[in-house]
Structure 1
Amino acid sequence: MKTYIAQEPKLLWTILFFMAMTYAYALDGPSEYLAYVGMAVSLAALTTRYHLTVSEDTLSMKVKVVGVTLRHKKIEAKEISKVHQIIAGTKVIFIMSGNKGEEMKLHRFKPDSFEQEIERFVTHHQLTIKQTVTKPRKEE
């Protein structure tokens, strides 16, 4: 059982926080509260972490904000109907679709060995991968 962690990109959420802080200072009245909401949303996004656990027969993902688990998705290998791999240069996205319509989108996980672990999981359970290449990988 291996666990991988991903987080939201920090740049855009940091920019939103400082813009909202500027507007909160400059605005008066009810619109000022929208700026405070923007600050709260950006702080929550900055603390969001995704924990992916790959076990023998299950993929499990927890979404944590400020260390509190908000959502827990679990999909078993026998429930997976479709696996789509999207390659965009150095970035790889896996979309796992279940029989009941649920989806699990996997990307940005560290360390980068998560890609090989997902491919091992898929081949071990004899699932087929539909692959889309939007930008070819560079040869090293």
Structure 2
Amino acid sequence: MHIWVDADACPKVIRDILFRAAERTQTPLTMVANHSLPLPASNLIKQLQVPKGFDVADDEIVARIQPGEILITADIPLAAEALAKDARVLSPRGERYDKGTIRAKLTMRDFMDTMRSSGVHTGGPPTLSPADRQTFANQLDQLLR
């Protein structure tokens, strides 16, 4: 078992939950980002720093992730690629992605991208709430069992 984190946009509060869970369950965790991140001193927690560039971190995760491993990401196309490799995927808000629902999520993402490209202001995601953090922690615990 291994936890991979698309860390460039992962909120600090979620990283902290991940660090505690990795230590508690003795599960290796790799933060993949194009910049240096502060990490706790641990033999289980590592960073893989990749060059800056479009989808460089995503490509590195897809190349390394194995069936049954866990990916933390809000990136829907990356989630779809990881699911195709039989990984388990969780968003930082605690939403579990699966093969049965990812196509609809990709379609909605593409639709919203088209809307933004045509000048429609769609707004960003809401602020991460305490309920989101709790949902994430609960879902992560389930995946690690």
What TM-score results when the alignment is normalised by the length of structure 1?
0.24
Higher helix proportion: 2
Higher Cα radius of gyration: 1
TM-score normalised according to structure 2 size? 0.23
The structure in which a higher percent of residues are strand is: 1
